[in-house]
């Protein structure tokens, strides 16, 4: 009884939350129980393309799965098999065997294929991509202690001292101000002066006189035109050339010969007014295999991006008519450009995460669109992201980034909103999102829609009538809002991310107790299906 009471209480609260989130007139046409019309198909009832995401194994081996897709959809998006991690091997070669099989099977069934995805930070072959940034042998020993600036408290750093300009030096924990980890070094230079006016010094570390040592570090500045240098203390002082900083993270390297048995690195950063952010210092014996310089790494990463996009788009030129070119470019929270440092905790052993912006900066998206457009000038090209209905800062940042890339010459035809949502997602947020996306004048597509019944991941939630009703109402509201707020000539399509509940990525990959799709385990049409069908028929 307690579980039952909690279940229905949760449903009532979720329903009340959606009511409170709506503008008064947004609920006028909603029906929370009369979802009985299942005659016809979604694609026949729609005036714009209807899509479904498909899984390779199910589509190729389950006739019921395939039949549902062919009956209901105009087009399909591959859940995995066109992604970098599926196609690229550890030596950088591209194997299209499985993608071709799935493409041929979909095409033979009369389905168009939407290309997904050319530039992303996840589902990558990071083993190959990370190999571009360093040697394949064991990592050389870092002689400098606490080069990541993680250890320390307040504005002090273990194994480092501030010799000049202490009031200008602090610790930062802001995600966009550290290259990775929890803390970074921040230096505010109020006015131009001598390099040594602000000076941060490492502890002494052991060196061998006459041997070459290589310093590597990351730095960016709040404004363009920044400058700093390094020097050594211990034996005869030595000075690096000036390092010119930008507003994107840059990796810099300086090699020096030791002149004593102990040496320390001095960060001389007082010459040029700006606010600087520094992270990840290392000093290694330069006789070990030297990694490429920052510029060499960037060139290799750029080439890898171009190779993957060019070969993939060329492979399906004229066959795949639209692509997600840049996928999930904005970080959660404040919507900054996504880099490793603002993307949560990522294990060092992760083989599927790689962040193009860490190496190519804000222009990685521009490059991706340029490479795709060159490979197939006739294809429609999209930028795609998630949580746009629930994170207004991220929505605004994505639109701003899209317009920035277009101003730089990128061919961007449209914006995709993923909409992995739940029964208690804010209705007002959905309306706000569609209004803002439509105002760009670009094509707008719902690219990956599913609706969780159990967003709180409670063990006792089941696929019962009450939850199905809430789910159907949400599916209906999303579609009605898409039709209401996005002009007909901007509606590129409406894609459901999956076919039936047990094969949803939320269940198969994340092991969630949920039922987010239009068909149940036996491919019976759920109220959510009827809700979409009714809405499409009413608006055709």
Cβ atoms within 10 Å of 159's Cβ, excluding its own: 16
Active-site pick, 72, 79, 328, 480: 328
Phi, psi of 466 (to 5 degrees): -65, -45
Q: Is the peptide bond before 310 cis (omega within 30 degrees of 0)?
A: no
Torsion angle of the four alpha carbons 484, 488, 493, 494, in this order, in degrees rounded to the nearest 10: 20
- C-alpha to C-alpha distances, 530 to 33, 249, 525, nearest whole angstrom: 10, 50, 7
- C-alpha to C-alpha distances, 119 to 136, 254, 294, 325, 371, nearest whole angstrom: 25, 32, 21, 6, 11
- Give the HSE-up count for residue 191: Cα atoms under 13 Å, Cβ half-sphere: 1
Q: Which residues lie below 8 Å from residue 138, measured CB to CB, with a gap of 6+?
A: none
CA separation for the pair 348, 280 (Å, rounded) = 15
Q: Is the sign of the CA dihedral 159, 165, 167, 169 positive or negative?
A: negative
Phi, psi of 273 (to 5 degrees): -60, 130
H helix or E strand, kind and range, residue 495 = strand 491-496
CA separation for the pair 472, 453 (Å, rounded) = 10
The answer to whether 448 is a known catalytic residue is yes
- C-alpha to C-alpha distances, 246 to 215, 277, 336, nearest whole angstrom: 19, 11, 16
Active-site pick, 72, 79, 180, 448: 448
CA separation for the pair 421, 433 (Å, rounded) = 13
Q: Is the sign of the CA dihedral 66, 107, 52, 55 positive or negative?
A: positive
What are the start-end ranges of the E strands in 203-321?
205-206, 212-221, 226-233, 243-245, 250-257, 262-268, 274-285
H helix or E strand, kind and range, residue 449 = strand 443-452
Beta sheet of 169-172, edge-to-edge order: 169-172, 184-189, 274-285, 212-221, 250-257
CA separation for the pair 199, 237 (Å, rounded) = 14
**How far, rounded to the nearest angstrom, does the alpha carbon of residue 221 sit from its chain's CA centroid?**
23
Token pair belonging to 270: 């007082």
Indicate which residues carry an active-site annotation. 328, 448
């Amino acid at each position: 009884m307690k579980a039952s009471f909690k279940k229905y209480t949760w449903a009532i609260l979720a329903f009340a939350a959606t009511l409170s989130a709506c503008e008064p007139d947004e609920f006028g046409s909603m029906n929370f129980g009369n979802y009985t019309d299942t005659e016809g198909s979604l694609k026949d009832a729609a005036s714009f393309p209807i899509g479904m995401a498909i899984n390779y194994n199910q589509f190729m081996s389950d006739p019921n799965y395939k039949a549902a897709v062919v009956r209901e959809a105009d087009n399909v998006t591959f859940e995995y098999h066109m992604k970098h991690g599926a196609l690229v091997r550890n030596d950088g070669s591209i194997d299209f065997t499985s993608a071709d099989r799935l493409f041929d099977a979909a095409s033979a069934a009369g389905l168009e294929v939407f290309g997904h995805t050319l530039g992303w930070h996840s589902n990558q072959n990071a083993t190959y991509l990370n190999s571009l940034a360093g040697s394949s042998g064991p990592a050389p020993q870092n002689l400098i202690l606490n080069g990541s600036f993680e250890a320390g408290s307040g504005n002090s750093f273990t194994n480092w001292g501030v010799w000049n300009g202490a009031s200008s030096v602090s610790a930062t924990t802001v995600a966009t101000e550290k290259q990775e980890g929890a803390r970074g070094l921040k230096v505010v230079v109020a006015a131009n002066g001598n390099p040594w006016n602000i000076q941060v010094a490492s502890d002494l570390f052991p060196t061998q006189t006459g041997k070459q040592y290589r310093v590597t570090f990351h730095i960016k500045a709040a404004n363009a035109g920044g400058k700093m240098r390094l020097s050594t203390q211990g034996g005869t002082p030595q000075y690096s050339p000036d390092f010119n900083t930008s507003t994107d993270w840059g990796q810099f390297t300086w090699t020096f010969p030791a002149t004593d048995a102990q040496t320390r690195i001095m960060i001389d950063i007082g010459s040029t007014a700006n606010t600087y952010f520094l992270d990840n210092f290392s000093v290694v014996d330069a006789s070990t295999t030297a990694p490429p310089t920052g510029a060499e790494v960037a060139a290799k990463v750029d080439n890898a991006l171009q190779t993957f996009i060019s070969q993939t788009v060329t492979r399906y030129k004229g066959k795949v008519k639209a692509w997600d070119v840049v996928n999930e470019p904005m970080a959660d929270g404040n919507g900054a450009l996504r880099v490793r440092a603002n993307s949560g905790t990522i294990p060092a052993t992760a083989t599927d995460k790689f962040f193009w912006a860490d190496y190519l900066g804000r222009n990685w998206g521009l490059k991706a669109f340029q490479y795709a457009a060159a490979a197939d000038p006739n294809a429609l090209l999209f930028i795609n992201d998630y949580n746009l209905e629930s994170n207004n800062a991220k929505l605004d940042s994505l639109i701003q980034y899209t317009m920035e890339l277009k101003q730089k010459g990128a061919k961007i035809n449209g914006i995709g909103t993923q909409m992995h949502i739940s029964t208690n997602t804010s209705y007002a947020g959905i309306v706000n999102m569609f209004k803002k996306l439509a105002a760009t004048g670009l094509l707008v597509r719902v690219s990956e829609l599913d609706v969780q019944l159990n967003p709180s991941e409670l063990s006792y939630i089941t696929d019962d009538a009450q939850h199905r009703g809430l789910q159907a109402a949400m599916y209906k509201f999303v579609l009605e809002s898409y039709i209401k707020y996005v002009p007909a000539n901007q509606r590129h399509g409406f894609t459901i991310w999956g076919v039936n509940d047990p094969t949803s990525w939320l269940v198969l990959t994340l092991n969630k107790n949920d039922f987010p799709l239009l068909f149940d385990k036996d491919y019976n049409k759920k109220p959510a299906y009827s809700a979409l069908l009714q809405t499409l028929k009413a608006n055709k």
